[in-house]
Structure 1
Amino acid sequence: MSILTPTRGTHVVYSINPVAKLAAAFVLSFTLVLSIDWVSASVALVLEGILFLWAGLSARQFFLRTLPVWVAAPAAAVTTVLYGRPAGATYFQLYLIHVTDGSFELALATLLRVLAIGLPAVVLFVTIDPTDLADGLAQVLHLPSRFVLGGLAGLRLVGLFLDDWRSLQLARRARGVGDSGRIRRFFSQGFALLVLSIRRGSKLATAMEARGFGSTIERTYARESRFGWREAVLIALAALVALVAVTVSVSTGTWNFIGSAS
């Protein structure tokens, strides 16, 4: 099974309602984007690291699934160093590139903030089963069933893209057209995948409509989506992490609200 495909595990975190996981990720993300400072982000990252031990993921699963975040954070930091806010001593300047003390400090804050926001979001998302998410959105948040079921169908088809891509590669090689012109082959194969996806989506929409998924009648669900004390604990932990991070940042005088950042 692909490491990109969410799976249903036996750990307690897998049984928590997906709506609570989305709410917890939102609380952390919203709080951390309010300030551009390294203290609040580092405090949140340390506390999140402790909670990751109970996420139900092995070390290998954790790093494989969060690899995009580990790549994006340094990239954002390097960009900020080169083009960030100039302040303090200047170390290097060339056209738009201006490396200063301020850009280094901002880069550190950016690096930590991307990690503090991205890591828990990814960890919480990979423990979500698409069907459980649809049940929670429909039964807990009471979103329209057409929107929820359409999103579930689309999410279920995402995993097929990789299989379709591999099949297209093998088919083109079998015809002798996949051995040269890497860039041209990529765009040609991408267009073929787009056409295949549109056809599959049209057939799926027709099949769902024929089975009554587009009906305006109130739907029933096979499984009840419950929102209880475990969900409340998860949201409370996220709020606690955010509160501690903000408190430490304000008490140390490093809190830098985005509205006042120059």
Structure 2
Amino acid sequence: MNLAARNPAAKLAAAAVLTFALVVSLDPVAPAVALAAELAVVPLFGIRYGALARRAWPLAVSVLGAVLTLFLFAQDREHIAMSALALALRLFAVALPGIIAFATTDPTDLADALIQNARLPARFAIGTLAAWRLVPLLGEEWRLITLARRARGVDPGRNPVARLRLFASAAFTLLVGAIRRGTRLAAAMDARGFDSGAVRTSARRQYFRRADAALVAGAALVAAVALAASVASGAFHPLFA
């Protein structure tokens, strides 16, 4: 079974189903069950756990920062541990399906599926494709910024404050460059008629088959089991209670 070959729209729909189920409760049981199921099916998408870890390290850093923030600003740190655990598990369980979906999806296939299967406007789908194509350039531009500063002798040494200040400066430079590139790309796409409103055709058909529907149904089943386990354990804590 190769889940990586499933329709991109089905992958996104499955991720959305899990996300919706995991945000309705604040307990750690539901995301723990969902996360265990997500990790179990990773090999079915043709992804090695090591490769997944390399893709998910920014998420791990973000989760660590969120948990540390909870502990730093909590009045009662003993009782905040459960909330921090629930938050960490939920962030991982919500983000992991998206990471898997985008890691196993061709950008052009995604744009075609959004237009043909999800019935989204072509402007939005093609804009998504263009943005995705630009993501690898950010890593290359970050490397060039780092090398250029090193060539000019800009080195923070072992000073953590200077290192943080240099990182913030480089990040701002990267952001400005990304905005400028996005603006030029948007103008170029409009000049080529991408916003003309004309009916567009697709060169490659994206079919939504029974196996794709089964993927979405499987995600719904995992979500139901996770919520049922939460309720059965007595840990269920509705978001809007």
TM-score by length of 1: 0.78
Q: Which residue of 1 aligns with 2:25?
A: 35
Asked if residue 56 in structure 1 is aligned to residue 43 in structure 2, the reply is no
Cα distance in 2 for residues equivalent to 1:195 and 1:39: 42
Q: Which residue of 2 aligns with 1:238?
A: 219
Contact 1:66 1:123 in 2 (8 A): no
Query: Once the two structures are superposed, what CA deviation does each residue of 1:21-79 show, in whole Å capped at 9, x if it has no partner?
Result: 11111111111111121222222222222222312111210111122333333443444
Cα distance in 1 for residues equivalent to 2:225 and 2:92: 17
Contact 2:7 2:206 in 1 (8 A): yes
Contact 2:42 2:48 in 1 (8 A): no
Q: Which residue of 1 aligns with 2:12?
A: 22
Cα distance in 2 for residues equivalent to 1:196 and 1:73: 27
Q: What displacement does 1:230 show?
A: 1.9
Q: What displacement does 1:245 show?
A: 1.1
2:131 equivalent among 142, 145, 154: 154
Higher relative contact order (CA 8 A, sep 6+): 2
Question: Closer, same or farther in 2 for the Cα pair 1:190/1:99, shift >3 Å?
Answer: closer
> What's the secondary structure of 1:204's corresponding residue?
helix
Structure 1 segments unaligned to the other structure (5+ residues): 1-10, 84-95
Q: Which residue of 2 aligns with 1:3?
A: none
Structure 2 residue identity aligned to 1:18: P
Alignment length (residue pairs): 236
Asked if residue 139 in structure 1 is aligned to residue 129 in structure 2, the reply is no
Cα distance in 2 for residues equivalent to 1:241 and 1:14: 18
More helix by share: 2
Contact 1:20 1:235 in 2 (8 A): yes
Q: Which residue of 1 aligns with 2:159?
A: none
1:247 equivalent among 214, 224, 228: 228
1:209 equivalent among 181, 190, 197: 190
Asked if residue 69 in structure 1 is aligned to residue 59 in structure 2, the reply is yes
TM-score by length of 2: 0.84
Contact 1:169 1:178 in 2 (8 A): no
Structure 2 residue identity aligned to 1:37: D
Q: What displacement does 1:156 show?
A: 1.0
Contact 1:146 1:213 in 2 (8 A): yes
Q: Which residue of 2 aligns with 1:109?
A: 86
User: How much identity, in percent, do the aligned residues show?
Assistant: 44
Question: Closer, same or farther in 2 for the Cα pair 1:168/1:106, shift >3 Å?
Answer: closer
Q: What displacement does 1:206 show?
A: 3.8
Contact 1:81 1:106 in 2 (8 A): no
Structure 2 segments unaligned to the other structure (5+ residues): 157-161
Cα distance in 2 for residues equivalent to 1:223 and 1:209: 23
Contact 2:115 2:125 in 1 (8 A): yes
Cα distance in 1 for residues equivalent to 2:172 and 2:59: 28
> What's the secondary structure of 2:120's corresponding residue?
coil
Question: Closer, same or farther in 2 for the Cα pair 1:187/1:13, shift >3 Å?
Answer: same
